Amino acid sequence: MPSVTLPERGRSHDEATVRRLALRQALGRLTARQRTFEVRDLWSGQTWKAPLTISKRDLGGEWFLRPSPDGLHLIYANWGNSRHKPYSVLVDMEKGRTTELDSGWFPVSVGDGGRPVVLAKPYDTTTRVRVTGGRPITVKEFTYGFSALGPDGRTLARIGTTFDPAARPMVQKDRTIVTIDAVDGGRERKTPIDGLPKELSPSRLGAWVSDTEVTMLAVPESPRPNLTSALYAVDVHTGRTRQLRRFDARMDNGVLPGLVQ
C-alpha cells in the first residue's frame, strides 16, 4: 500500500495524519450475501476476500474483527451463542490461509505479517495479556480496553480508571493514560491526559501514529448542541494531546479507521 509523506507539524500535519490512518487502515466488512469478509484498500481500491464462510447461525452471535495496520491479516473471533461454541481464527487475506487461535482469549490486535498477535483474558479483578511467543502478564484490573500493540512490539496502552464501591458507576475513567510492558510485565506507568477539553471524555484507544503517540477517541460527557466526538493523538509519555479530526454527528456511531472497537 502506498505510503504518505507527512509535512511539518501544524494543521497540515494533523490532516495528513488522518489521511494516512484512513489509507493504511484497510476497511474490513462482512458481506451479508457472501457471508465472508472483504478488505478494501482505500488507496488503490483493490479488494481481498477471506478464505472462510460465516454460517448463518454465527451471524446472531457476538463477534469481533481485528485488522492488521495494512489490512492483510485479520483476527475474527465469535463469542458463540446457544447454537455453537466460541472460536477465533487468524486470517491471512493475501495468501488465503487461516490459523486457529485460542477461543478463550479476547483479540486485541495483530501486526503486519500476522505477528505479533495480542490477546487478553479478563477475570473478576485482573486481566491476563499475552503476546505471541511470550508468557502471559497480569494487569490488576478487569478490562478489554487496550490500544493496539505499540511500534516497539511490547507497549500497550489503556485509559486509566478509578474504582469506588460507593460511586455510580463504580468504575470511572480518570482522564489518564496507562502503559504496560505486554512482554515482560512490571510496573505500570500512569500519565494525566493534557489538553483534552473538559467537555470531552476519553472513550477508547487504537492505532499508533508515531513511536509515542496513540490514537484516542474522545466523546461528549453529556449531549450538547454542536458538541461531537473527536479523534486525538495522545503522547503516552507526556500525556499531551493534539486533535486529529472532529467528527460531525453522523460519524458518532460510525466505524472509525484505526480504532479498536
pLDDT in tens, the chain (261 residues): 333 333 333 333 444 444 444 444 444 555 556 677 777 776 777 788 888 887 776 666 677 788 888 778 888 888 766 566 778 899 998 899 999 998 889 899 998 889 999 999 988 888 999 998 889 999 988 888 899 999 999 999 999 888 778 877 777 788 999 999 999 988 899 999 999 999 999 998 988 989 999 999 999 887 777 788 899 999 999 999 999 888 776 554 445 555 554
pLDDT value for 99: 92
Give yes or no for a contact between 132 and 107, defined as CB atoms under 8 angstroms apart.
no
Give the model confidence (pLDDT) of 81-132 as tens digits. Answer: 656 677 889 999 889 999 999 888 989 999 888 999 999 998 888 899 999 8
Closest by CA position to 213, among listed 3, 6, 2, 1: 6
56: left (phi over 0), alpha (psi -120 to 50) or beta: alpha
Name residue 237's amino acid. H
pLDDT value for 60: 64
The C-alpha cell of 242 is what?
493534539
pLDDT value for 161: 83
pLDDT value for 216: 93
Give yes or no for a contact between 132 and 115, defined as CB atoms under 8 angstroms apart.
yes
Closest by CA position to 70, among listed 39, 95, 101, 98: 39
Question: DSSP string of 188-227?
Answer: -EEEE-BS--TTEEEEEEEEESSSSEEEEEEEESS--TT-
pLDDT value for 178: 95
